[in-house]
Amino acid sequence: MTMRRSALAATVAGALSVTLLAGCRSSPSATGSGPEPPPTGSGGEVSSAVSKAQSAATSALSEISDGVQANGDVTAGPASLDSDGHAMSQLTVKNDTDAEHDYTVSVIFDGSDGGLLDVVVVNVKKVPAHGQSSGTARSTRKLSGTVTARVSAAVRH
């Protein structure tokens, strides 16, 4: 791993960890079903689900070489629930550089109480120079209630 890659990975992982810890609360309304057992209000189960999501997001972001933090380049639109009960948010990626780039974005879904419900990583490929592209963040499990989406980390590479 190059020094630049190590520094970026440490910075992104640290920022993601702080963001997740700040938003991590056990929430009885954080229920659902999906590929993994959902949080059900038990602190241990919520903590385990958050830990797995954090680990997966950190791992995906740390695999990027020669990337640059680009949180300001990405915005998450309002979250809504699809017909399957998964939260979705439209991402807008603006590339103000002189070259085409790919973006890897970590998106956090929060409940109405501010409690963390899910974390996903989205890849938006080939964003044109001085242009923009979109992508969709979709929760890994079914969620309910009012859900918001926010970008926790973005890497341009």
How many domains does the structure of the chain reveal? 1
Determine the Cα–Cα distance for residues 122 and 53; give it in Å rounded to an integer. Answer: 13
Q: Which residue has the higher pLDDT, 7 or 24?
A: 7
Residue with tokens 């640059």: 68
pLDDT computed for residue 12 by the predictor: 53
| pLDDT score for 157 | 96
- pLDDT bin (cut points 50, 70, 90) of residue 46 is low
**Which pLDDT score is estimated for 8?**
52
Q: What is the pTM of this model?
A: 0.73
Of 18-22, 34-38, 65-69, 134-138, give the range with the top mean pLDDT: 134-138
Cβ contacts of 59 within 8 Å, gap of 6 or more: none
pLDDT of residue 25: 37
Q: Which residues contact 154 (CB under 8 A, 6 or more apart)?
A: 69, 70, 71, 73, 74, 93, 103, 104, 105, 106
Domain holding 145, by residue range, is: 3-156
Pick the more confident residue, 104 or 52: 104
